[in-house]
Structure 1
Amino acid sequence: MTEAEFEELLQRYLDGTSRPGERALIEQWSNQLGEPENLVLPPTQHEQVRAAMWQQIEHLTQDSLSNTPPVKELHPSTSLWRMPVMRWVAAALLVVGVALAIVLPQKWESAPVPSTTAVEWTQHHNKGKNIELLTLVDGSRVTLSPGSGLQYRAGLTGPRREVRLQGEAFFQVAKNPDAPFLVYTDQLVTTVLGTSFRVKAYAGHKNEVAVHEGRVSVQLRRGADLSATPVQPAAEGIILLPNQRVAYSALTPRPLRKQLVQNPAILTPQTFTFDKQPVSKVLQALEKAYGVEIIYDEAKLVNCTITITFYQESESLYDRLDVLSKALGASYSPADNARILFHSDGCTL
């Protein structure tokens, strides 16, 4: 089964237009649970069900097609299974499970996500308490956190270098413009040509991507354009630059939005000693050092000068903005698109 076929089956299920065989299975499940047959799942929960189902499909296909032991599944408590969403997931998985038995013998070349075969794919799971460093055949390095798992093609063959992540890892990807590097989580697809970034994708939590250097393309896994790259991004995706991140949860689906990382790193060292210099010059130095856009009213700051020195290398961007704001009686706040809004009423001569 391809993900596109899965999406069609799920959409029919959610829309109440299941085919006769699919509907019979749902009714069978419904009778077993003693629930009405024609329950309606709220649209706001469609993505949650879809993500959970597709993750389970991958586990089922891995178990059936590979000799590699399947990823250990979580067994929800009784109270969790009483939640309406999870009971709908159970019903949907019953439908999909039967469909898999029919379509597994078919070829997987047309699938919009990487196929899983015993010959082509390698699975590594960090069962220890320390990070593990993996070096892939293309020279890319992956720092895998404890409790995390990575699947990858042994030779990273094909037009795309594809890996799957469950958990957390820091990637240092070898540059290859002709073969983009794709990281799949259960909710996101991250594409790079060669750079370093961190991905978090723990079960039941938000999927996060944070960039250390270079450019990274991120899009939702559902309906992803796998031909997209940071040079030619997908229409529905976003481009992340250093010190930027994105977080997404199927529980509260919304368009992808850039944010600043929690502690932006200095990208371009600057001199942070200012003697009676315009405040705008201080803000510009911070912008250049951290690669972040700071929005301010130039007209209000035109008469503002300051003498200030930032000494500690351990001082963060926010520490420095705090000092500057206190000196001026100003303030700052996060703004859209990973920017910072600096508020000031100006200075009197």
Structure 2
Amino acid sequence: MTEAEFEDLLQRYLDGTSQPGERELIEQWSNQLGEPENFVLPPTEREQVRAAMWRQIEHLTQGRSGNGPTDHTLTGKELHHSTSFWRMPVVRWLAAALLILGVALAVVLPQTWKSTLAPSTMAVEWTQHHNKGKKTELLTLSDGSRVTLFPGSSLHYRPGLIGSRREVRLQGEAFFQVAKNPDRPFLVYTDQLVTTVLGTSFRVKAYAGRKNEVAVQEGRVSVQLRRGADLSATPVQPATEGVILLPNQQVMYSALTPRPLRKQLVQNPVVLVPQTFTFDKQPVSKVLQALEKAYGVELVYDEAKVANCTITITFYQESESLYDRLDVLSKALGASYSLADNARILFHSDGCTP
């Protein structure tokens, strides 16, 4: 059973459209939620998961009893000592929903599922690789993809990356160099995002309690919120609610401050197409166009205002960043610039005297 099939099974249960036998299967599993043997999270992270689950349960149940929202939120410690918490039917029901939201993905299926499911839908055990060292580790997957796994990070994947999609789960940070295969997209799941590629290089950060980040080095990737993600989407046929990232672009998302996904420039854009940065009495627009091409960025400016502006300037140091060069250009022209959504840079100039 793939992750997508498992989430579909839970969604049908919540929608009341379960097929024969599915409802009993979900309820059998939900009755065992909270038992220690069903958790793979270390104790230090369990409290965070329980607290996050309780916040979501409060959100989902507000107004259903007619009493309005409560003023008291249980802490992780209080939840830990509440022996009746995991026994409440509404909690077990909502815990299943929380899996769809990606909050409690560390809960594993009980062994009893294996005897209940038909052979064609039996869950395939996932392999976990955890980097316990102080240096990065390089993993080579069965399809030839390479993953640089950072210290303290874990990667989960099925042996042979079986299935119509090559799927992995990440906790922590990793740099992916994905082997190209247009027929089998490569998906990286974090607790909040789904990143889909056909073959390219990108970095993903997904540490517990922090923002999820995806940054692209080359090629293009599709990023969606994990909840409600269209798993059939690709960078060629992207999802409506997702974003497409190109080199030097990134997306950041936090469930604590949810907002639509917006791509932005990475902190230090690198040169993608080498350019000659020596200009002798050249139009400023030509300098801006050279920067756009070199870094793959979109510089937005008023062409009419800079039409009469020329400049003699040379950018020497290879260590100079894009922003260093924009600082020098802005100072020479009495101009300024600012970062904008959609990975754009706005260049502000009042023009030049002819």
- Whether the TM-score (by the shorter chain) exceeds 0.5 is yes
SS in 1 for 2:289: helix
Query: Of residues 117, 138, 141 in structure 1, which corresponds to 2:124?
Result: 117
Cα deviation, 1:74-119, whole Å, max 9, x if unaligned, reads 1448xx95997278496665445699779945549999xxx9533x
Counterpart check, 1:332 vs 2:337: yes
**Distance across 1 between alignment mates of 2:118 and 2:264:** 36
**Distance across 1 between alignment mates of 2:10 and 2:272:** 43
Q: In structure 2, what is the equivalent of residue 2 of structure 1?
A: 6
**Distance across 2 between alignment mates of 1:88 and 1:206:** 22
Query: Of residues 206, 214, 222 in structure 2, which corresponds to 1:209?
Result: 214
Counterpart check, 1:287 vs 2:292: yes
**Distance across 2 between alignment mates of 1:116 and 1:166:** 21
Q: In structure 2, what is the equivalent of residue 185 of structure 1?
A: 190
**Distance across 2 between alignment mates of 1:321 and 1:153:** 46
Cα deviation, 1:246-290, whole Å, max 9, x if unaligned, reads 011111111110100000010000000000000000000000000
Cα deviation, 1:204-262, whole Å, max 9, x if unaligned, reads 11111000000101111111111111111111111100000001111111111010000
Q: In structure 2, what is the equivalent of residue 300 of structure 1?
A: 305
The 5 Å alignment of 1:13-32 reads: none
Query: Of residues 144, 149, 169 in structure 1, which corresponds to 2:149?
Result: 144
Q: In structure 2, what is the equivalent of residue 197 of structure 1?
A: 202
Q: Amino acid of the residue matched to residue 70 of structure 1?
A: V
Once the 2 structures are TM-superposed, how far is the Cα of residue 70 of structure 1 from its aligned partner?
2.4
Counterpart check, 1:133 vs 2:138: yes
CA contact (8 A) 2:57 2:94 kept: no
Distance verdict in 2 for CA 1:248–1:131, change over 3 Å: same
SS in 1 for 2:273: coil
Cα deviation, 1:15-38, whole Å, max 9, x if unaligned, reads xxxxxxx9xxxxxxxxxxxxxxxx
Distance verdict in 2 for CA 1:272–1:174, change over 3 Å: same
Cα deviation, 1:184-203, whole Å, max 9, x if unaligned, reads 01111100000000000011
**Distance across 1 between alignment mates of 2:12 and 2:259:** 21
Q: In structure 2, what is the equivalent of residue 346 of structure 1?
A: 351
CA contact (8 A) 2:10 2:96 kept: no
Q: In structure 2, what is the equivalent of residue 273 of structure 1?
A: 278
CA contact (8 A) 1:2 1:108 kept: no
Q: In structure 2, what is the equivalent of residue 261 of structure 1?
A: 266
Q: In structure 1, what is the equivalent of residue 105 of structure 2?
A: none
TM-score relative to the length of structure 1: 0.75
Q: In structure 1, what is the equivalent of residue 67 of structure 2?
A: none
**Distance across 2 between alignment mates of 1:159 and 1:344:** 52
Query: Of residues 236, 239, 248 in structure 1, which corresponds to 2:241?
Result: 236
Distance verdict in 2 for CA 1:110–1:312, change over 3 Å: farther
How many residue pairs are counted as aligned between the two chains? 294
CA contact (8 A) 2:53 2:95 kept: no
The 5 Å alignment of 1:34-183 reads: 64=38, 70-73=40-43, 74-76=45-47, 85=55, 88=58, 94-95=92-93, 104=113, 107=117, 117-118=124-125, 121-183=126-188
Q: In structure 2, what is the equivalent of residue 25 of structure 1?
A: none
Once the 2 structures are TM-superposed, how far is the Cα of residue 158 of structure 1 from its aligned partner?
1.7
Q: Gaps spanning 5+ residues in structure 1: where?
A: 13-21, 23-56
